[in-house]
Chains A and B, each alone.
Chain A
């Protein structure tokens, strides 16, 4: 297989992290739903097993997040996540317009992928929000729920565990929705499977 005309976008450390993260998050969503909507006689997975698996996958994803975080600190990969506020709204709207209109009119891709620009503006800022806001929140609340004795008992007369758990579930839901959209957008490549191939081989 020739990589001619292709660019090497996803280094090996990133692909390893991405794989661990993807598998971990799938397990977390499945076991999380199992706990939230468990019913006697209707358990896809035994409750205690779901708890243990959720804990295991949660710790794995938290550690793998460190790979991502440190990798982005020490490698050039960080440049893809740098926030540039100037003209941000315009860039986002331009990309969104392409998704809902331009791509059906065979318009040119407004922000084609290059070594300098791995993500289009919508991708970039979604990833920034998920990876630097949502994932840290879910990891912190998850660790807190793993050690509930560390949670403040009363927060303005509300249960600390309650607030932590609700926040954990809401962010979990947002990440699940992100995953669905992420998987769908991944099919918008040269061919529907091109991007999936890229994240395995590293070449785009």
Chain B
């Protein structure tokens, strides 16, 4: 009987905390997922509708789809946000970094957060900007998805990854949060690249702009622009650089289970030079050798029968 009571109490407690948590999130997102919010103005003693600061508007669906989708807002933000109007100084609260939660956690050992931090330390972002360049500058905690591990589509992985880079490098105001220099125009600086659009859609910026680290799923050592890969043949060859970066995801290969051809087909990509079909190569070699052999034999008979 007592056991039954305990179980009921636990269930009630769980449901109550779940409901409260949900309510808290809904309370936040009620304003923060809308263009406008209503505020009671003590001075005029009226409810007034105001525009929401666009930088503080969140996409609730994208939050739910993200890796932190099950989190409550105050799991990361101060619980003081529960009062409204929010206190001004809350804007300056130091937020947790990825390592604060994920560092040393066995559950995330596979992600190698410590090694990522070490590699990032060598990157141009860390060298040029130091500690102000936090993980969240690229990895938006609200929406982040582990695409490279979950998506079956290379195009999808590429899009998600490149959006991280261009969120600053193609956005002058965000770029100037980090740097006072002029934001280089991506289309102009990459004008040497043939089929630029196709490259941008099918390979990630990090393919050429990072130093590959075999033990890491995604290289975090972003190189200075002078050291970026610029030799076409590094990717456009049988032993393509892409095999060690974009196409190295074992999960994609395992999921497709169609062999080498299947991977390429399933991922809807074709790279000149990198795609080598052994059967076609062998067949073409056999045909070529046969033709040459026939010509030699024919010539031989032409000479001796002259």
Contact = CB atoms under 8 A, between A and B. Distances in A.
Contacts of B295: 180-181, 184
A161 B234 CA distance: 21
**Residue from B265, B273, B277, B280 having most chain A Cβ neighbours under 10 A:** B273
Interface stretch (A15-23, A33-41, A64-72): A33-41
Contact of B268 (A40, A43, A162, A184): A162
Interface stretch (A1-9, A75-83, A146-154): A146-154
Chain A interface helix/strand/loop/mixed = helix
B6 interface: no
Interface residues of B, number: 34
Nearest to B266: A157
Nearest to B193: A48
Contacts of B183: none
B297 to A, nearest CB: 10
A164 to B, nearest CB: 8
B194 interface: yes
A61 B292 CA distance: 26
A145 B150 CA distance: 31
B265 A181 contact: no
> Which size bracket describes the interface of A in this complex?
35 or more
A8 B164 CA distance: 68
Contact of B291 (A37, A38, A181): A181
**Residue from A47, A158, A173, A184 having most chain B Cβ neighbours under 10 A:** A47
B232 A47 contact: yes
Contacts of B237: 38-40
A36 B272 contact: yes
B194 A162 contact: no
B264 A162 contact: yes
Given A36-B272, A39-B233, A39-B238, A170 B305 contact: no
Contacts of A162: 264-265, 268-270, 275
Interface of B: 194-195, 197-198, 231-234, 236-239, 264-265, 267-270, 272-273, 275, 277, 280, 284, 287-288, 291-292, 295, 298-299, 301-302, 305
